[in-house]
């Protein structure tokens, strides 16, 4: 079986697995995840973080968003570009007016854009991951394209995948365009990459 078909099968299975979590399991996971991320963001100030609005059983960042709000962190959410398959990031605060994109995922309606290299941390939603740096997204290549040229940027945000622990698999093939992650945060622990991304 070719890599695209393997990934597609894995995607179907893992999306179903996360959608089958109960509301209690989701809430518990969201709380634990916020603690795991907080340990890694530490006591820094003026942090600019891109995160996402949970959809399709994704692990929910609302507890973490609350904590960021209290600490005056600036938050941003991905917005799908109107004619290119890439993302830009718009300022978000709890209570911001939102608009559903073509996949039904809410995006900030009036959020100020930020140049991606000005972000300090990007939390990417994952469908699956392994502990060797393999990752699986929704299959649109949106994050891959958005961060494809980051080596040429004046500075780079740290990229961390975010997922439920039950989205961890034995091995996901890494393809040439896959952007390297600094690690993955789950409701159980942080998996940090060995190689520097
Ligand atoms: N919460 C969240 N926001 C995100 C992402 C994400 O994975 N999660 N994205 C990460 O890239 C981008 C959106 N990418 C997406 C890619 C595919 C599908 C999707 O549901 N595809 C459907 C069928 C496609 C269609 O309707 O045409 C599917 O596969 O069932 C959704 C989002 C930007 N925002
Ligand atoms: N930098 C790029 N330039 C052009 N096409 C790309 C680039 N990155 C990925 N793609 C294309 O996007 C498609 C989806 O890739 P892949 O299955 O790895 O997505 P994904 O990693 O699951 O999605 P995401 O990046 O949104 O999390 C592939 O067909 C790939 O060829």
Q: How far is CA 137 from CA 31, 45, 128, 144, in A?
A: 23, 30, 7, 9
Identify the pLDDT of residue 196: 67
Identify the pLDDT of residue 113: 95
Total count of domains within the chain: 1
Contacts of 195 (CB under 8 A, 6+ apart): 133, 180
Cα–ligand 1 centroid distance for 5 (angstroms): 18
Short-list 121, 65, 124, CA closest to 96: 65
What is the full per-residue pLDDT of the chain (197 aa) written as tens digits?
899 999 999 999 999 999 999 999 999 999 999 999 999 887 787 899 999 999 999 999 999 999 998 888 999 999 999 999 999 999 999 999 999 999 999 999 999 999 999 999 999 999 999 999 899 999 999 999 999 999 899 999 999 999 999 999 999 989 999 999 999 999 999 999 987 66
Assigned domain for 79 exists: yes
Assigned domain for 169 exists: yes
Give 18's Cβ-side CA count (13 Å radius): 28
Domain that holds residue 32: 3-192
Answer yes or no: is the C-beta of 7 below 6 A from any ligand 2 atom: yes
Short-list 159, 136, 135, CA closest to 146: 159
Short-list 131, 130, 135, 159, CA closest to 147: 159
Cα–ligand 2 centroid distance for 137 (angstroms): 9
The stretches of the chain forming alpha helices (DSSP H) are 3-19, 23-41, 62-70, 142-146
User: Are the C-beta atoms of residues 99 and 109 closer than 8 Å to each other?
Assistant: yes
CATH number of the domain at 31, please: 3.40.50.10420
Place of tokens 């393999």: 134
Assigned domain for 170 exists: yes
C-alpha 68/C-alpha 63 separation (Å) is 9
Answer yes or no: is the C-beta of 58 below 6 A from any ligand 1 atom: yes
Pair of tokens at residue 64: 């973490």
Cα–ligand 1 centroid distance for 125 (angstroms): 10
Identify the pLDDT of residue 45: 79
Q: Whose alpha carbon is nearest atom 12 of ligand 1?
A: 142
Assigned domain for 197 exists: no
Q: What is the largest CA-CA distance in the chain?
A: 49
Assigned domain for 146 exists: yes
User: Are the C-beta atoms of residues 51 and 41 closer than 8 Å to each other?
Assistant: no
Q: Whose alpha carbon is nearest atom 23 of ligand 1?
A: 103
Answer yes or no: is the C-beta of 137 below 6 A from any ligand 1 atom: yes
Assigned domain for 22 exists: yes
């Amino acid at each position: 079986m070719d890599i695209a078909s393997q990934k597609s099968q894995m995607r179907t299975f893992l999306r179903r697995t996360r959608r089958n979590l109960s509301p209690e399991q989701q809430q518990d996971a969201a709380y634990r995840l916020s603690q795991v991320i907080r340990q890694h963001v530490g006591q820094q100030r003026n942090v600019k973080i891109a995160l996402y609005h949970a959809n399709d059983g994704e692990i929910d960042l609302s507890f973490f968003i609350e904590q960021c709000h209290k600490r005056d962190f600036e938050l941003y959410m991905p917005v799908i570009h109107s004619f290119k398959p890439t993302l830009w990031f718009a300022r978000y605060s709890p209570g911001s007016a939102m608009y559903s994109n073509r996949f039904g995922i809410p995006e900030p309606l009036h959020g100020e854009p930020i140049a991606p290299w000005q972000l300090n941390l990007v939390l990417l939603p994952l469908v699956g991951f392994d502990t060797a740096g393999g990752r699986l997204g929704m299959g649109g290549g949106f994050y891959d394209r958005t961060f494809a040229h980051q080596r040429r940027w004046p500075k780079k945000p740290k990229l961390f995948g975010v997922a439920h622990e039950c989205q961890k698999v034995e091995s996901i093939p890494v393809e040439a365009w896959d952007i390297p992650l600094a690690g993955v945060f789950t409701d159980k622990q942080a998996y940090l990459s060995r190689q520097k991304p």
